[in-house]
Structure 1
Amino acid sequence: MGDIELAEVESFALDHTKVRAPYVRLIGVEHGPRGDAISNYDIRLVQPNAGEIPTAGLHTIEHTIAALLRTRLEGLIDISPFGCRTGFHLIVWGEPTPAEVGAAIKSSLDDLAHRVTWDDVPGTDATSCGNYRDHSLFSAQEWSAEVLRQGISLDAFDRSQIA
C-alpha cells in the first residue's frame, strides 16, 4: 500500500468467498465510556460476488425495512445498505442476540414480500427522499421473497436456518 495509514475495517477482513448468504452475523459490539453497548450486524441477503440487488429494489427495501424493524427490534439506530448491494449493516443499542435480530429481519421481509403496498413505503417523494425516483416495490418484494425462500442462517458459513 501507499504511505497513508489506514485502519483495518472488519468487513474487508471477512473472506467474502467463504460466507453463505442469506445470513445474520454479529460483526461486533462497541462499549461507550458509560458502559452503553452498540451492536453492529451484517445482514447479508445475497451471496457476495454472485449477485446483487438492483438499486431501486434495495432502496425500497431500505426505506421499508427501516420502518418495519423499528416496530420489532428495540433500540434500532440504523440499517444501511452495503455499497456492494448484497445486504445491510444494522446498528442497534444494546446486545440483541443474532436470533432476535434474525427473527425481526425475517418477519419484516415477510411483511415486505406479502403485505406491504406502495402506500406503505415511506420516503417516496422529493420532500422525504434524496433520490425518490429510484424505487421499486416489485423488485423489493421479489428479492424479499427470494431471501425467505432460501432461508436466513444465523451462521455466515453454514446454511442452518432460523425457524
Structure 2
Amino acid sequence: MSTAEKKMNVESFNLDHTKVKAPYVRLAGMKEGINGDVIRKYDIRFTQPNKEHLEMPAIHSLEHMMAEFSRNHSDQIVDISPMGCQTGYYLALINHDNYDEVLTILEKTLQDVLEADEVPACNEFQCGWAASHSLDGAKEAAKGMLEKRNEWTKVFA
C-alpha cells in the first residue's frame, strides 16, 4: 500500500491535492466536545497546491490581520492558522454551522485587510518575528482571493 492510499489521521493528508482548484473554502472537519460544543475547521486555500505559494512575510501579516479583523465579524472564531505549505489557512469556529456566513465573514475580513494601513501587533513586544511582515504582500493575497470570490465554493476542478 502506497503512502497516498493509506488512510491518515490528518484530514488534509487524505485530500487529493492534485484534484483541487484554488481558491476555495471547504469544511475540512468537525469535532464535538463533551458538552456538545462543535468546532468546525475550514480549509481556506489561496493558491494552487504544488504550483504556487504565498511568501512568508505576506502569510505572517495576513495571519495577524485575519486573526484580528475576523473577530470584528464573529465572536465564534476560535483560530486562524497558516498552513505550513504556504497555500492557505485553517479557520476554526465554535458552534457555527452556516457555510454561507463563513464566506461572508472571510469576505468582510479580506476587505478589512485591503483597507488597513498597518499590520496589527507588528512589533517585537507582540510578535515573535516582527521583522518578517509585508503589508503589501498581505493586501495582494487578499485582493487575489477576493477577485475570485465566485469560485470559493468550487473545491474540485
TM-score by length of 1: 0.87
Q: What residue is the counterpart of 2:147 in the other structure?
A: 149
How much has 1:7 moved relative to structure 2? 5.5
Q: What residue is the counterpart of 1:52 in the other structure?
A: 53
Regions of 4+ moved over 2 Å: none
CA RMSD of aligned residues (A): 1.6
CA contact (8 A) 2:76 2:96 kept: no
TM-score by length of 2: 0.90
Amino acid at match of 2:153: L
2:128 to 108, 127, 130: 130
Matched residues in 1 for 2:68 and 2:51: separation? Answer: 28
Q: Does 1:71 align with 2:72?
A: yes
CA contact (8 A) 2:31 2:38 kept: yes
Amino acid at match of 1:117: D
Amino acid at match of 1:56: P
Q: Does 1:117 align with 2:114?
A: no
Q: What residue is the counterpart of 1:23 in the other structure?
A: 24
Aligned residue pairs: how many?
151
Q: Deviations over 1:115-141 (max 9, x none)?
A: 1101xx211111100000000001111
How much identity, in percent, do the aligned residues show?
Answer: 38
Matched residues in 1 for 2:75 and 2:97: separation? Answer: 9
Amino acid at match of 1:149: E
Matched residues in 2 for 1:53 and 1:7: separation? Answer: 26
CA contact (8 A) 1:24 1:98 kept: no
Matched residues in 2 for 1:58 and 1:7: separation? Answer: 26
How much has 1:23 moved relative to structure 2? 1.1
Matched residues in 2 for 1:148 and 1:135: separation? Answer: 21
Q: Return 5+ residue gaps in structure 2 as ranges.
A: none
Q: What residue is the counterpart of 1:161 in the other structure?
A: none
Q: Deviations over 1:90-126 (max 9, x none)?
A: 111113322111111112112212x1101xx211111
Matched residues in 2 for 1:38 and 1:105: separation? Answer: 17
